[in-house]
Structure 1
């Protein structure tokens, strides 16, 4: 029977994947005033605008839990690399690197340089950064983490040592302000030079500030290579001591000496999950991407240059080929290319599949939008999971793949209004063809939009229609305090 209500938008006759991991069901979705207000049998709802989804699936908009989009949401607010994947919310500030709070008084050191120059680091408080987001209103929703390295460049006079009591207090004050401004939590990247000298006591004292505000602690652990188990233990110990959830960033076992060890790390994660709240994210590729560091050039794994300030002509080329052309070893070539970024082919496929198959793994792109030749995960991570790993390799069902991108992510980060198709939730939705959805971005040609996505809606408005972005943008700041109530 046809409803007598006319909704703003009706998604008609879709296979609805509600985010719970259960099988799809056919139906209509009615949207009014930015929210999902009706879910009904197919062909039963009326709308002022009809999106005919016959033969298509509709899912909650994907939540990219691991981004470095801090500056991108301001400088390129159409956010095409994310919208064209079906991503409707991004979480910035990962790996200890956030654009705020820091009014830079010097050139940002690596890895902070990955997301901005001294001119870009102009937000002395998270509140100022949030104000900028709201003024620009990007096309996607934006959640914010506060980075440990960013706090350290504010407060610690010598980054080659741990913080003293006065410096720690300053960082705690900055973090408390950011949490009060609505940040979702605190992130660290103890792997990086800016935070490497910090011991776990420093991390714990900061994590306690996030915990007091109901936030999370996300960790790019100190060592994803030989010392991976010890580094995992350090992160879990911090969460246990500070009494807050720990989320492992881009979980992997890196370097040929550690290939196959994800069986060991996942077993350890499972063990620790019995006594504390733990989550993890991963991207669906065997290569990672970060700054080019000569110390991590081993002459064994393939390394591709994603950008080089002194040699921009070398972007997209392999370090081994550049070194041969210059008549030097790879470490020397890396020094000449510096400052630079690189894609490291440091994982093995069976490890990637094992981590992706782990039922508690969220999907995060970890894309670097400012690289001139970026890793293809920036444009392709989510469709690659849906097409290559779910449909083609059958690692998990489509419904389960959607759960990893929606409810699982929303629940870990406290986004109770997002990541699910239910009445009362914000209408963040993606309509796609399960038979054709596919990533097109490659390592050789990384800036390619996915195929198979028909519409993306953000807060009840069409943000992308058949590959074309709407001129109006409707993203919101994901304020931890206003997001915590369930729909």
Structure 2
């Protein structure tokens, strides 16, 4: 529950108070209390202090008549942690974007860098199992950058079995990261599928002892790779029950592909037995990763690809559809860390899958946003807005939340508007609120909660980004407020606003 669970809806809530900001006359939806009605919202500093039917007086007023007022969206899975990427997400209603699946190392460096540079939205990181494994086993440097583990995915060295001494060093470094405020442990297990299952159990036990979640990119399923050490979904759910750790299943949609029903049944079964198990999904029919990773090996395209051929792959730096095995091998050799799309299914042919993914029970919406890709030879200033044409990304980096509201709510009715908002706000907040208590004040529109607020037009909100034009911002988000400061006003980015704050675990 939030620190203050009173909805603040009393008719005299505003008496004698002048607020810094008043959001007037909008349809306020608070997913925790169940409030869904026309209210005025009063903000002082970085807090919501009133949610009231009474008239409120503000130094600045936002006319929200005919619009929805909701908690700012919380993205548990965002690799795009630069200023430009965060700006793009703010225009999609995001007020907190966290790098939890891959994580970073050292987290102290990442937090310091973000604080010095400034961010338009709130930020935070898990400890990166992959980065530390790359360091301990492969000798890779630790930069604290969000792209660190992603850049190393094409290397083979870090996937080797760990010696007892290396395992001990890895666990010690993970423990140190948790002491330094990491929000949990990010585990890219699917990129090192030959890892000893005992190592995964040890990492989960460490997380359980520290009281933090793990965020796992699971190994392949047995249907996808009959030779896998252990079925990815069976392993993740079994470890949840075995260790008592909070296990979070990252992008359950893309790792499960055509076997989602079986995987979801496993998750629901272990939850029913009392395990702490959460998950997330994104509303797109393609994934994205480093082209040098195992998923893009010609012999493994069948694991995720719609057809299992190179034509499922689009190389992001040039936008080309890979025409042949020879071209795929060339790209893997010359640019192993280069980002590429892989088509999971035809979004137009199977449009109903998008709505079904959004409506999965106990599953938050999370973008899996990726860092900007710069076409060869160009230089990009991260403070430049809007991003120039030579900047590319996955469209989910720009439009996950607009697309969810359009497809799952307005077009298909798979979710009600309050249900969809809950999946974007209080549900992800609850994943972290035992680890980072400040999350108890996020994902809610209540007196005493953080002034992270989104105001949008439910009848026209939509994603705009495509695979060809991937940095087009969503539309329909009129205002986005972070810690009481407007970062989007009248649908336009406030370019000088950098009010984002760290989300950090302190033990």
**The two structures share one fold, judged by TM-score above 0.5:** yes
Alpha-carbon distance in structure 2 between the residues aligned to 1:33 and 1:209: 38
**Equivalent residue for 2:461?**
437
**Equivalent residue for 1:365?**
367
Q: Deviation string for 1:401-459 (max 9, x for gaps)? A: 00000000000122212111111111100011101101000112111011101110101
Tell me, yes or no, if structure 1 residue 356 matches structure 2 residue 337: no
Tell me, yes or no, if structure 1 residue 40 matches structure 2 residue 52: yes
Contact 2:103 2:185 in 1 (8 A): no
Contact 2:78 2:98 in 1 (8 A): yes
**Equivalent residue for 2:200?**
203
Tell me, yes or no, if structure 1 residue 250 matches structure 2 residue 262: no
**Equivalent residue for 1:305?**
314
**Equivalent residue for 2:103?**
98
**Equivalent residue for 1:175?**
174
Contact 1:77 1:136 in 2 (8 A): no
SS at match of 1:247: strand
Structure 2: which 5+ residue stretches go unaligned? 1-11, 139-156, 375-391, 434-438
Alpha-carbon distance in structure 1 between the residues aligned to 2:342 and 2:252: 15
**Equivalent residue for 2:319?**
316
Q: Deviation string for 1:352-386 (max 9, x for gaps)? A: 43332122110111121233432210100010001
**Equivalent residue for 1:120?**
none
Alpha-carbon distance in structure 2 between the residues aligned to 1:224 and 1:433: 40
Tell me, yes or no, if structure 1 residue 13 matches structure 2 residue 25: yes
Tell me, yes or no, if structure 1 residue 27 matches structure 2 residue 39: yes
Contact 1:55 1:433 in 2 (8 A): yes
Greater mean deviation of Cα atoms: 230-239 or 6-15: 230-239
Contact 1:63 1:405 in 2 (8 A): yes
Q: 1:342 to 1:279 in 2, by over 3 A?
A: same
Q: Deviation string for 1:309-358 (max 9, x for gaps)? A: xxxxxx222113xx4xxxx6564465466433221111363544333212
Q: 1:7 to 1:224 in 2, by over 3 A?
A: farther
Alpha-carbon distance in structure 1 between the residues aligned to 2:159 and 2:27: 55
Greater mean deviation of Cα atoms: 346-355 or 271-280: 346-355
Contact 1:225 1:254 in 2 (8 A): no
**Equivalent residue for 1:284?**
283
**Equivalent residue for 1:144?**
125
Matches within 5 A, 1:24-423: 24-41=36-53, 44-70=55-81, 72=82, 76=83, 79-94=86-101, 97-101=102-106, 126-157=107-138, 158-192=157-191, 195-224=192-221, 226-227=223-224, 230-252=231-253, 259=258, 261-275=259-273, 276-292=275-291, 293-295=296-298, 296-297=300-301, 300=308, 302-308=311-317, 315-320=318-323, 323=324, 331-332=328-329, 334-335=331-332, 338-339=335-336, 340-347=338-345, 349=350, 350-372=352-374, 373-414=392-433, 415-423=439-447
With normalisation by structure 2, the TM-score equals 0.80
Alpha-carbon distance in structure 2 between the residues aligned to 1:169 and 1:17: 48
Q: State the 1:209 CA deviation.
A: 2.4
SS at match of 1:480: coil
Contact 2:254 2:287 in 1 (8 A): no
Alpha-carbon distance in structure 1 between the residues aligned to 2:308 and 2:408: 27
SS at match of 1:454: strand
Contact 2:241 2:270 in 1 (8 A): no
Contact 2:218 2:255 in 1 (8 A): no
Structure 1: which 5+ residue stretches go unaligned? 102-125, 309-314, 483-487
Q: State the 1:470 CA deviation.
A: 4.3
Alpha-carbon distance in structure 2 between the residues aligned to 1:332 and 1:476: 42
Tell me, yes or no, if structure 1 residue 424 matches structure 2 residue 448: yes
Contact 1:283 1:364 in 2 (8 A): yes
Q: State the 1:251 CA deviation.
A: 0.8
Contact 1:3 1:46 in 2 (8 A): no
Greater mean deviation of Cα atoms: 396-405 or 348-357: 348-357
Q: Deviation string for 1:23-43 (max 9, x for gaps)? A: 62110111112011111005x
